[in-house]
Amino acid sequence: MASRFVARSALLVLWLAAVMVCVAWLGGAIPHQTLPDPDYMWRPPQIASGLKLLIGMAATFVVVAVCLLLRRLLKQGVLSRTWLAVFVAAGAIAAYCGFTYVVATAPVIGANIGGGIAVLFAGPFTVGTAIVAGVWVHQGPRTPPA
Protein backbone atom coordinates (compact mmCIF):
# COMPACT_ATOMS: atom_id res chain seq x y z
CA MET A 1 0.00 0.00 0.00
CA ALA A 2 2.80 2.43 0.87
CA SER A 3 4.64 1.68 -2.36
CA ARG A 4 1.54 2.59 -4.39
CA PHE A 5 1.27 5.88 -2.52
CA VAL A 6 4.94 6.64 -3.21
CA ALA A 7 4.50 5.77 -6.90
CA ARG A 8 1.41 7.98 -7.21
CA SER A 9 3.14 10.81 -5.39
CA ALA A 10 6.19 10.53 -7.65
CA LEU A 11 3.91 10.60 -10.69
CA LEU A 12 2.20 13.69 -9.24
CA VAL A 13 5.54 15.49 -8.77
CA LEU A 14 6.55 14.60 -12.34
CA TRP A 15 3.15 15.87 -13.54
CA LEU A 16 3.56 19.18 -11.67
CA ALA A 17 7.01 19.88 -13.05
CA ALA A 18 6.08 18.88 -16.60
CA VAL A 19 2.87 20.95 -16.70
CA MET A 20 4.63 24.04 -15.35
CA VAL A 21 7.49 23.81 -17.87
CA CYS A 22 5.13 22.92 -20.73
CA VAL A 23 2.88 25.94 -20.12
CA ALA A 24 5.88 28.25 -19.77
CA TRP A 25 7.41 26.87 -22.99
CA LEU A 26 4.15 27.04 -24.95
CA GLY A 27 3.53 30.56 -23.63
CA GLY A 28 6.93 31.47 -24.97
CA ALA A 29 8.97 34.58 -24.52
CA ILE A 30 7.39 37.87 -25.40
CA PRO A 31 9.56 39.57 -28.06
CA HIS A 32 11.16 42.90 -27.20
CA GLN A 33 12.59 44.15 -30.51
CA THR A 34 10.99 47.57 -30.06
CA LEU A 35 12.25 48.09 -26.51
CA PRO A 36 15.78 49.53 -26.33
CA ASP A 37 16.41 48.56 -22.70
CA PRO A 38 13.50 46.51 -21.32
CA ASP A 39 12.71 46.16 -17.62
CA TYR A 40 11.84 42.82 -16.08
CA MET A 41 9.98 41.85 -12.95
CA TRP A 42 12.72 39.26 -12.87
CA ARG A 43 15.05 38.47 -15.71
CA PRO A 44 14.65 34.99 -17.22
CA PRO A 45 17.71 32.75 -17.24
CA GLN A 46 19.79 32.81 -20.42
CA ILE A 47 19.33 29.38 -21.99
CA ALA A 48 20.29 28.46 -25.54
CA SER A 49 17.27 28.31 -27.85
CA GLY A 50 18.02 24.70 -28.83
CA LEU A 51 18.05 23.64 -25.18
CA LYS A 52 14.79 25.53 -24.56
CA LEU A 53 13.23 23.66 -27.46
CA LEU A 54 14.48 20.31 -26.15
CA ILE A 55 13.26 20.97 -22.59
CA GLY A 56 9.87 22.25 -23.80
CA MET A 57 9.30 19.30 -26.12
CA ALA A 58 10.33 16.85 -23.40
CA ALA A 59 7.93 18.48 -20.93
CA THR A 60 5.10 18.35 -23.46
CA PHE A 61 5.85 14.67 -24.12
CA VAL A 62 5.79 13.96 -20.37
CA VAL A 63 2.44 15.76 -19.97
CA VAL A 64 0.89 13.69 -22.77
CA ALA A 65 2.43 10.47 -21.43
CA VAL A 66 1.16 11.10 -17.89
CA CYS A 67 -2.33 11.87 -19.26
CA LEU A 68 -2.36 8.60 -21.16
CA LEU A 69 -1.03 6.72 -18.11
CA LEU A 70 -3.70 8.28 -15.87
CA ARG A 71 -6.38 7.24 -18.34
CA ARG A 72 -5.04 3.69 -18.38
CA LEU A 73 -4.77 3.49 -14.59
CA LEU A 74 -8.31 4.81 -14.18
CA LYS A 75 -9.66 2.33 -16.70
CA GLN A 76 -7.92 -0.58 -14.96
CA GLY A 77 -9.18 0.54 -11.55
CA VAL A 78 -5.66 0.96 -10.15
CA LEU A 79 -6.18 4.69 -9.62
CA SER A 80 -9.34 6.00 -7.97
CA ARG A 81 -11.21 9.08 -9.10
CA THR A 82 -10.16 10.86 -5.92
CA TRP A 83 -6.57 10.81 -7.17
CA LEU A 84 -7.82 12.23 -10.45
CA ALA A 85 -9.17 15.22 -8.51
CA VAL A 86 -5.74 15.74 -6.99
CA PHE A 87 -4.04 15.53 -10.40
CA VAL A 88 -6.48 17.96 -12.03
CA ALA A 89 -6.18 20.51 -9.21
CA ALA A 90 -2.40 20.20 -9.07
CA GLY A 91 -2.21 20.53 -12.85
CA ALA A 92 -4.28 23.71 -12.76
CA ILE A 93 -2.03 25.19 -10.09
CA ALA A 94 1.11 24.19 -12.02
CA ALA A 95 -0.31 25.68 -15.23
CA TYR A 96 -1.00 28.94 -13.39
CA CYS A 97 2.58 28.96 -12.09
CA GLY A 98 3.90 28.44 -15.64
CA PHE A 99 1.69 31.25 -16.91
CA THR A 100 2.85 33.52 -14.08
CA TYR A 101 6.46 32.78 -15.01
CA VAL A 102 5.84 33.89 -18.60
CA VAL A 103 4.11 37.09 -17.52
CA ALA A 104 6.62 37.95 -14.78
CA THR A 105 9.65 37.48 -17.06
CA ALA A 106 8.14 39.54 -19.89
CA PRO A 107 10.19 42.53 -21.05
CA VAL A 108 8.31 45.76 -20.33
CA ILE A 109 8.80 49.49 -20.00
CA GLY A 110 8.48 50.50 -16.35
CA ALA A 111 6.53 48.37 -13.89
CA ASN A 112 5.37 44.88 -14.81
CA ILE A 113 1.80 45.26 -13.61
CA GLY A 114 0.72 42.00 -15.25
CA GLY A 115 3.37 40.09 -13.30
CA GLY A 116 2.27 41.76 -10.08
CA ILE A 117 -1.36 40.86 -10.69
CA ALA A 118 -0.46 37.28 -11.58
CA VAL A 119 1.57 36.90 -8.38
CA LEU A 120 -1.16 38.65 -6.35
CA PHE A 121 -3.84 36.20 -7.47
CA ALA A 122 -1.63 33.11 -7.10
CA GLY A 123 -2.59 32.65 -3.45
CA PRO A 124 -6.37 32.89 -3.84
CA PHE A 125 -6.27 30.75 -6.98
CA THR A 126 -4.22 28.06 -5.24
CA VAL A 127 -6.42 28.03 -2.14
CA GLY A 128 -9.63 28.01 -4.20
CA THR A 129 -8.40 25.17 -6.39
CA ALA A 130 -7.31 23.16 -3.35
CA ILE A 131 -10.73 23.67 -1.73
CA VAL A 132 -12.53 22.51 -4.87
CA ALA A 133 -10.29 19.44 -5.07
CA GLY A 134 -10.82 18.75 -1.36
CA VAL A 135 -14.60 18.90 -1.78
CA TRP A 136 -14.37 16.60 -4.79
CA VAL A 137 -12.20 14.11 -2.87
CA HIS A 138 -14.47 14.28 0.19
CA GLN A 139 -17.67 13.68 -1.80
CA GLY A 140 -16.14 10.79 -3.72
CA PRO A 141 -16.98 9.73 -7.25
CA ARG A 142 -20.56 10.29 -8.27
CA THR A 143 -22.48 7.78 -10.26
CA PRO A 144 -24.78 9.16 -12.94
CA PRO A 145 -28.49 8.61 -12.32
CA ALA A 146 -29.97 5.70 -14.21
Spans of the chain, pLDDT less than 70? 1-2, 29-33, 140-146
Q: What is the pLDDT of residue 142?
A: 61
Q: What is the pLDDT of residue 57?
A: 95
Q: For residue 39, which phi and psi values (nearest 5 degrees)?
A: -95, 155
Counting beta carbons within 10 angstroms of the beta carbon of residue 140, is it exposed (0 to 12), middle (13 to 18) or buried (19 or more)? Answer: exposed
pLDDT tens column, 105-143:
888 877 778 888 888 898 899 888 888 888 877 776 565
Length of the chain: 146
39 beta partners: 108
Residue 31 pLDDT: 64
